[in-house]
Structure 1
Amino acid sequence: MIDHENDGTAERPIHMPVVSYSETVRHFIEDVYTFAEQHQEMELTRYREILKENGMEPGMNDMENVDIFNLNAQCVLALMMEVVRAERFNEGAIFNFFKSGAMLKCLERLDCLV
């Protein structure tokens, strides 16, 4: 949501944008955490190290431009975890990852690997 009503003056300060996710996206976030918890063998608590081991530096610009179709399942899942965790410090990170199509590519890659 973006404030289009206020002009930034002291009387009418602009309110910072807020991302409000749908129930589906909130469930998706929960599912990423649940999967990581139930599949300790994937070591997704090490998601940043996994990304670095695969030549990726954490950061949303790099994450959205990765060639997903050359990554193994662990790395794709680590990428998804990076995005979910990034939301805590960068509101809208998940939104941007979905909007760019990168999340769909991750899911398609995982589907190919199963």
Structure 2
Amino acid sequence: MSEAVIATASASADDAPTDGTQSEVAPTAEDIRRWPATVDPVTAGTAFGISRSYAYQLVKQGDFPAKVIRVGGKNRVVTADLMRVLGITGTHGSGPDGTHPALSVVGGDDAS
């Protein structure tokens, strides 16, 4: 799936519907790159264009299209795997230039 097919408009995880309906606006590849390491099944479902209830049904059946793990008793979808399944290239957490601010070396090359 190409990045152009994934979404036509920008949306954040906060834009996902909570009433069980399907999201009208899917997140873009850039949005997904900014997601945390794991997201809830509803948020991940927006990237696949599936409803809240169907996302939870797939998790329960063990058929969610990306890796689901349990964290603190809750189901979480691994964002890096979601990106792999959707064919989103680049590094999870990277900015538009491909760098990740949290991984920058403090003090430059001289740091010991």
Using structure 1 for the length normalisation, give the TM-score.
Answer: 0.27
Larger % of helix: which? 1
Q: Which has the higher contact order (CA 8 A, sep 6+)?
A: 2
The structure with the largest strand share of the pair is: 2
Larger gyration radius, structure 1 or structure 2 = 1
